[in-house]
Structures are given as C-alpha cells and as structure tokens.
Structure 1
C-alpha cells in the first residue's frame, strides 16, 4: 500500500514537472514594443548593453530590412543569444529611425527627454540622433539622411553639405529655430 502511494505521488509530481517545464519561458526572452524614434541599435543597446546586437534582433524577428521597424511593432528576442553576425552587421546601416504610422505617436514626456539643453546646435544634434542615429546614409522609405528629410527636398543631392543646408532651411521656414523644432518633436514624436 505504501509503495503504491509513493509510486502514485511520484507519477503525479513527474507529470506536474513535465507540464510546468513545457509552459515555462526563458527569463532571457524579451518582448519589446517599438516606440517612436527607436532603432534596432537603440533597442539592442537597451537590452544587451551593446548596439552591435541589432542584427541578432533582426534575425530572430526575421526582418528583411534592418533599417525598417514600425511604431507599435512587437519584437521578441533572447538576450542570452550573444552571437553577432559581423558579416551581416558590416553590410547593414544600423541607425534608421522607426517609421511613423498614420496616427501620430503618443507625446513623449519631457521628463524622459532630459537631454534638451536649449541651444540651436544641441537641439539640431538631438534631432539628428533621434531621427537617424546621426547617420547621413540612413534611409526610411522616402526619408533620407541624418535629418530624415523627404527625398523631394534634397533634389537628388544626398551629400552631407546639402543635407545640412536643406535641414537648416526646412527648420527655419517651418519652426523658426532648431529649439522650436525640438519642442515640437518632444510633443509629437516627429518634426
């Protein structure tokens, strides 16, 4: 009788452990919802402490273009996976911004954006980093370069000097200053 109870108890415990193990999820598995202004590199930096793992995130989510993620998109990846495919990494541009959806993103909280310092050059650099990670070669559909300008504004000249000139002209005409453009970006998630 005691042997039967022991066997029955071990069977129930074994089955319970089997089902618990089958339903458990790795503690290193992450599910991240893309926010406006994020890049795969910035997400990689957040979870891995190193921007170079953007290709790992792209591979695990079967993204065909590492330069194209969308606000609200859910990315899942395992942070224990620390291998970086350097051949793919060297071939890709890691700093393209998140594509905006038709509906504007939720306004960013000014407290979370504490890097605002209030002068033109820092506001300009801040926008460039949010839009493209500072890359003159970043593309996102029809948006090109460091300031993610509509390609029609650049008239086929994607040089760094033209991007700077057109961005300054665009901001002066639309916002009056880079500081005002940054304030608009903080309120709307784009400029």
Structure 2
C-alpha cells in the first residue's frame, strides 16, 4: 500500500512538473494593460516594431472598433513570430499601407508642431481645423461635425454642445490630452 502511494505521488508530481515546465514557451502571448495615450498602433509598435499586429490584436480581443480602446483594458498580444505563422494574404497586404500612413506626415506640419508648444485649446482647435475646417455641420460618410466623430459616438445628438462633450471624452479616454491627440494626428494623419 505504501509503495502504491509513493508511485501515485511521484506520478502526480512528475506530471505537474511537466505541465509547469511545458507552459513557459507553449503559448508565447503577452497580456497588456492599456495606458492613457495608447493606440493599437503604438501597442503593435511596442511589441513588433511595426503595425503588423493591429489586426491580430483586434481579432484576438474581439475589438469591435479598432479606433477605440479604453484605459485599463487588458489585451492579449501575440508575439511577432506567432503572428507571422498565422499570416493571411489580407493581413500581409494591409501592413505596408498602415506603415505608409505613418511615414506620409509632411515635414512642414511636423516642424510647426515641434517649434510651437501646443496648449489644450490650440491643439483642440488645430484638430478641428484639420478635420472639418472648424464646421459643426461637416459630414464625411459616418463621421460627423467639427471633430469628425463617428456618428455612433454622438447617439443622434449632433448639437455643438454634444460634439464638444463627446470629443473631450473621446480624447481624454484615448489619448489623455488634446496635445497627445495632436501628436498622434501628426504621426498618422488622423486621430
């Protein structure tokens, strides 16, 4: 009886040790907690050095709007090697386009933003001018108003007051400040 207990204990310990040792490299994913100012692009850049992980982050975390993530949200991030194994032709084609958008920032706009320190009101106005020439009535498909917000964010209320309120909330949640949103716009051509 004592030898049977010894064999069972040894078998259990060996199996547990095998499982423990086997899980360190079996699934090389990371868990990332979203911080203020993060975007899927900056997270992908952090983990892979380019925008190649954006579509995988969206898919793996069931993100319905890839332009909207929230501070404190925990995202599962694949390694670049793992993503390369699962690459499909569509994802291979989208990565270069996203990289071109990052590189397409005109030097004059970047120089202006770097030499003139932005304040909240000037950064907010700068984005409004770039997005809609400052018009609350501007539309572009599903994007509405002065800050070209997705119509779903405005919930049918396109008033100036609601546009201001929703824009402030969107920028605070996604970028942390209008200055950070402006910096992102300069790097990517959108915010």
**TM-score, normalised relative to structure 2:** 0.44
Structure number with the higher helix fraction is: 2
**TM-score, normalised relative to structure 1:** 0.44
